[in-house]
A = this chain, B = another copy of it.
C-alpha cells in the first residue's frame, strides 16, 4: 500500500467521522429545548461561551499569525532547514483545532438544556442527549486531526519529494494544534476555576445563596467555565496529542528509528490505525445506553461498555493491519501495549480518586483531623498515586522499544489514543451533564428531574477524573515520542569518533538542561495557581459591585449583569496565561538560537544541543509527576468532600466537611488548571523543538541509521589513514593534535574491547526491530 492510498483512507474515515458528528449534532439540536426559563438560562450560557471563544480566538489569531510569519521567515533563512510548508501546516493545525473546539462548545452549550429537558422524560433519554453532545466533540476532534495529517502528509510528500522532510514539515500541524491548546487549556483552565471559585466565594460564602442560583452574577460564568475547561480545553489538549502522536510515528518511521524492513508501510501504519479507530469509535457509541432507575454503577457500566469494546476492536484491527501491511508482528505488540497502558492508567486514576476505593475513603476520614491533616494526606495520596502511571509508562516504553525501537514508542502513543473518539466523548459528556444539573436548579424543575441530572452529573465527575489521567498519560507518551523524533532528527553523533559514553551522559549542558527542564513545570504550576486566585479576585470584586449598584438582584426583581462577569474572567484568564505560554514557547527557541550562535566559541560550553535535550527529558519526567500528583490529589479531595456530603463522617456542615472543603479548594486549581496545563507544557516544549530541529541539527553528520553500505570496511581503512590530513583544515593546530591523539587512543581501547563480545551497552534499536 502506498502513502497516497493510505492518506485517502484517512481522508475517507475522517469524512465519515465528520458526517457522523453532523448527524449527532443535528440529533442534539432537534431535541426540545425546554420551557422559557430554561431557554433563557441556556441562552445566557451560550452567549457567555460565545463571548469567551470570541475573546480567546482573537488572542489566538494574533498569536498564530505572528508565529506563522516567524516560521515562514525562518524557512527562508538559508541553512535553517525548515521547510516553508511548515508555516502552512501550522496554520492549518491551528485552524483545525480551533474549529473542533468551536463545534464542540457550540453543541455542548446547546446539549446541556436539551439534556435537562430529556431528563424530565427519562434517565436514558438524558444520557443519550448528553452523550451525543459529547460525541460531537470527540468525533470532530479525531476526524479533523486525522484529516489534516492525512492530507498534508500526502501533499508534502508530493511537493518535497522525500518522506523525512515531509514529516518534518508535518510537525507544524501539531504545533498549530498546540497553539490553540495553550489558550484553551491554560487560559480555559484559569477561567473555569476562577469563575468557580469566584462564584462560590461571594455567592455561597458572602451572600449565602446556593450554587447555581440565578441571582449570582457569576453563575453563568461558572457554567460557561465547565464547558471552557472540559470541552474546549480537554478537546484541544487531546487534539494535539492525537495529531502529534501520529506525526511522531511518521517522523520516526522516515528517520528509520526502529523500523527494520519497510519504511513506507511503517509510515502509513499509524494513519491506518487512527482511521480504524475513528470508525470503531463511532460504532462503539451505539453501545452507550441505559435504562430507567439505573444505578451509578450501571451508568458507568454503559459508558465502559463503549470504551472497552472500542479498545478490544482496535487491538484486533491492529493485528490485522500489521498482517495486511506485512509489517513485523512486533509493531502490533508495541501498539497494543500503548492501548492497554491507556486503559490501565484510567483504571488506576479511578482507584486513587473515586470514593468507592480505599485511598479516597481514608482521605475522607482524615478530614476529621482538620484541614491541615486533609491537605497533608491528599498531597501524600497524590504523590503515592504517581507510582502506577510511572510503572505503566515505563512498561509500555520498554515493551514498545523492545518490540520495535523508538518507533514503538510513537505507535504505542498512537495505540493509546486510537480510541480517543469515544474516550473524549465520555469526557465532554461531563460538562454537558453538569450544566444540565445547573439549568435544572436555576429553572426550579421538579426533584425527580434534578435526581436524574444529579446521577448524570456524578457519572461525569468519574469520567472527568479518569479522562484527566488518560490525558496526562497520553501527553507523556506523545511528548516522549516527539522528543525521540526531535533527538533522532538532531542526528547527534560524534563525527565518527569513538566516544566515551560516560562523558556524553555527564555533559554539563545535558545535566543543566535536566535541571532547567525539571524546573519549568514548577514555575508553570506556580504561575497558573496564582493566576486562578487573581482572576477569582477580579470576579469577586465585580459581583460585589453588582450587588451594590444594581438594585433588586437579591430579591430576584432584576437580572444581574452576567456578561460583564464572563468578560472580566475571560480577560483576566487570557492575560494571565500569556507568561506561562510565552515561557513554554520561548525556552526551546532561545536555547536553539544560543546553540547555533555558540557553535565554535566558548558559549557552546554553556549551551548546546544537549541543553535542549536535557530540558525535554527533565521536563517530561518532572511535569508528568507533578501533573499526576495534582490531578489525582485534586480528584480525591473533590470526591472526599462529596463522600462526606453523602453523610459520612458527620456529613454536610460538620467539621470534617469544613476541612474537606479546604481540600477541595486547593484541589480545584490542581486538577482543573495547573495539572492539565502541564500536559500542554510537555508537548509544547517537544513539538517546538521538533519544528526547529532542522535549524540545530548536526549539519555535518550523515543521517543516522541510513548509512549502511556494504563495501565500507575497506573505505574505513583508507579514511582513517587520511583523517590526519583532513583534520588540518580545522581551526587550530593544537586542537587537531589533541583530537587525533585522543581518537587514536580510543580506537586502541576499542580494539581491545571488541575482543570481549559480552558487553554491548550500546542500545541498537534497529537490531531489535
Contact B496 A712 (CB under 8 A): no
User: Taking the complex as formed, is A494 at the interface, i.e. its CB lies under 8 A from any CB of chain B?
Assistant: yes
- Measured in the bound complex, the distance between the Cα atoms of B500 and A765 in whole Å is 11
Which residue of B has the minimal Cβ distance to A738? B767
Given A666-B376, A758-B599, answer yes or no on A751-B496 (Cβ-Cβ < 8 Å).
yes
Contact B397 A754 (CB under 8 A): no
Q: How far is the CB of A199 from chain B (nearest CB, A)?
A: 15
From A118-126, A133-141, A700-708, the one touching the partner chain is A700-708
Contact A707 B746 (CB under 8 A): yes
Given A741-B708, A762-B504, answer yes or no on A624-B518 (Cβ-Cβ < 8 Å).
yes
Tell me how many residues of A have a C-beta within 8 Å of chain B.
149
Which residue of B has the minimal Cβ distance to A517? B621
Residues of chain B with a CB closer than 8 A to A62's CB = none
- Measured in the bound complex, the distance between the Cα atoms of B537 and A370 in whole Å is 13
Residues of chain B with a CB closer than 8 A to A526's CB = 379-381, 383-384
- Measured in the bound complex, the distance between the Cα atoms of B666 and A375 in whole Å is 7
Contact A609 B761 (CB under 8 A): yes
Mask, A724-745, CB within 8 Å of B = 1, is: 1011011100010011111111
Contact B493 A500 (CB under 8 A): yes
Residues of chain B with a CB closer than 8 A to A756's CB = 699-700
Residues of chain B with a CB closer than 8 A to A604's CB = 760
Tell which of A498, A722, A767 has the most Cβ of chain B within 10 Å: A498
Which residue of B has the minimal Cβ distance to A749? B702
Identical chains bound together, number: 2
- Measured in the bound complex, the distance between the Cα atoms of B504 and A510 in whole Å is 13
Contact B722 A751 (CB under 8 A): yes
Residues of chain B with a CB closer than 8 A to A510's CB = 505
- Measured in the bound complex, the distance between the Cα atoms of B618 and A393 in whole Å is 15
Given A496-B754, A748-B496, answer yes or no on A621-B624 (Cβ-Cβ < 8 Å).
no
Contact B516 A390 (CB under 8 A): yes
Interface residues of A in 384-430 (CB under 8 A from B): 384, 386-387, 390, 393-394, 397-398, 401-402, 406
User: Taking the complex as formed, is A719 at the interface, i.e. its CB lies under 8 A from any CB of chain B?
Assistant: yes
- Measured in the bound complex, the distance between the Cα atoms of B377 and A188 in whole Å is 20
Given A384-B522, A484-B506, answer yes or no on A617-B700 (Cβ-Cβ < 8 Å).
no
- Measured in the bound complex, the distance between the Cα atoms of B530 and A735 in whole Å is 57
User: Taking the complex as formed, is A1 at the interface, i.e. its CB lies under 8 A from any CB of chain B?
Assistant: no
- Measured in the bound complex, the distance between the Cα atoms of B763 and A517 in whole Å is 20
Q: How far is the CB of A441 from chain B (nearest CB, A)?
A: 24
Q: How far is the CB of A182 from chain B (nearest CB, A)?
A: 19
Contact B383 A763 (CB under 8 A): no
Residues of chain B with a CB closer than 8 A to A582's CB = none
- Measured in the bound complex, the distance between the Cα atoms of B709 and A375 in whole Å is 62
User: Taking the complex as formed, is A755 at the interface, i.e. its CB lies under 8 A from any CB of chain B?
Assistant: yes
Contact B621 A394 (CB under 8 A): no
User: Taking the complex as formed, is A622 at the interface, i.e. its CB lies under 8 A from any CB of chain B?
Assistant: yes
Mask, A56-90, CB within 8 Å of B = 1, is: 00000000000000000000000000000000000
Contact A503 B762 (CB under 8 A): yes
Given A713-B740, A745-B708, answer yes or no on A499-B375 (Cβ-Cβ < 8 Å).
no
User: Taking the complex as formed, is A324 at the interface, i.e. its CB lies under 8 A from any CB of chain B?
Assistant: no
Residues of chain B with a CB closer than 8 A to A622's CB = 518, 621-622, 625
Q: How far is the CB of A677 from chain B (nearest CB, A)?
A: 13
Contact A498 B500 (CB under 8 A): no
Q: Which of B608, B625, B721, B747 contacts A522 (CB 8 A)?
A: B625
Interface residues of A in 40-58 (CB under 8 A from B): none
Contact A712 B762 (CB under 8 A): no
Q: How far is the CB of A586 from chain B (nearest CB, A)?
A: 15
User: Taking the complex as formed, is A710 at the interface, i.e. its CB lies under 8 A from any CB of chain B?
Assistant: yes
Contact B753 A727 (CB under 8 A): no
Contact B487 A493 (CB under 8 A): no
Contact A700 B492 (CB under 8 A): no
Given A621-B618, A665-B370, answer yes or no on A708-B491 (Cβ-Cβ < 8 Å).
no
Given A496-B747, A767-B738, answer yes or no on A758-B720 (Cβ-Cβ < 8 Å).
no
- Measured in the bound complex, the distance between the Cα atoms of B717 and A476 in whole Å is 46
Residues of chain B with a CB closer than 8 A to A514's CB = 617, 620-621
User: Taking the complex as formed, is A372 at the interface, i.e. its CB lies under 8 A from any CB of chain B?
Assistant: yes
Contact A753 B701 (CB under 8 A): yes
Given A488-B502, A707-B748, A717-B720, answer yes or no on A533-B376 (Cβ-Cβ < 8 Å).
yes
Given A383-B526, A522-B386, answer yes or no on A497-B762 (Cβ-Cβ < 8 Å).
yes
Which residue of B has the minimal Cβ distance to A379? B529
Contact B759 A495 (CB under 8 A): yes
User: Taking the complex as formed, is A610 at the interface, i.e. its CB lies under 8 A from any CB of chain B?
Assistant: yes
Which residue of B has the minimal Cβ distance to A512? B394
- Measured in the bound complex, the distance between the Cα atoms of B738 and A742 in whole Å is 26
Which residue of B has the minimal Cβ distance to A711? B744
Q: Which of B394, B745, B746, B758 contacts A515 (CB 8 A)?
A: B394
Given A622-B625, A751-B722, A761-B608, answer yes or no on A502-B523 (Cβ-Cβ < 8 Å).
no
User: Taking the complex as formed, is A299 at the interface, i.e. its CB lies under 8 A from any CB of chain B?
Assistant: no
Mask, A646-665, CB within 8 Å of B = 1, is: 00000000000000011111
Residues of chain B with a CB closer than 8 A to A746's CB = 493, 496, 707
Q: How far is the CB of A102 from chain B (nearest CB, A)?
A: 32
Interface residues of A in 437-461 (CB under 8 A from B): none
Q: How far is the CB of A699 from chain B (nearest CB, A)?
A: 7
Residues of chain B with a CB closer than 8 A to A501's CB = 492-494, 499, 504
Given A376-B669, A504-B504, A758-B599, answer yes or no on A621-B518 (Cβ-Cβ < 8 Å).
yes
Contact A398 B606 (CB under 8 A): yes
Tell which of A406, A506, A665 has the most Cβ of chain B within 10 Å: A506
- Measured in the bound complex, the distance between the Cα atoms of B665 and A663 in whole Å is 14
Contact B621 A665 (CB under 8 A): no
User: Taking the complex as formed, is A490 at the interface, i.e. its CB lies under 8 A from any CB of chain B?
Assistant: yes
Residues of chain B with a CB closer than 8 A to A721's CB = 717
Contact A606 B717 (CB under 8 A): no
- Measured in the bound complex, the distance between the Cα atoms of B393 and A663 in whole Å is 34
User: Taking the complex as formed, is A264 at the interface, i.e. its CB lies under 8 A from any CB of chain B?
Assistant: no
User: Taking the complex as formed, is A715 at the interface, i.e. its CB lies under 8 A from any CB of chain B?
Assistant: yes
- Measured in the bound complex, the distance between the Cα atoms of B251 and A683 in whole Å is 39
Residues of chain B with a CB closer than 8 A to A707's CB = 745-746, 748-749
Q: How far is the CB of A473 from chain B (nearest CB, A)?
A: 12
Q: How far is the CB of A79 from chain B (nearest CB, A)?
A: 12
Contact A507 B763 (CB under 8 A): yes
Which residue of B has the minimal Cβ distance to A408? B508
Contact A401 B508 (CB under 8 A): yes
What are 13 A-B pairs with beta-carbon distances under 8 A?
A376-B530, A390-B515, A394-B515, A492-B505, A500-B705, A502-B704, A505-B613, A506-B763, A622-B622, A713-B724, A715-B744, A715-B747, A715-B748
**Additional A-B contacts beyond A488-B502, A717-B720 (16; CB < 8 A):** A390-B515, A394-B515, A401-B605, A495-B760, A496-B746, A507-B763, A518-B621, A518-B622, A608-B761, A622-B622, A700-B758, A702-B753, A713-B724, A715-B747, A723-B754, A735-B757
* A-B pairs, 10 with minimum CB distance: A496-B750, A372-B665, A730-B757, A712-B744, A495-B753, A702-B749, A518-B621, A383-B526, A401-B508, A719-B751
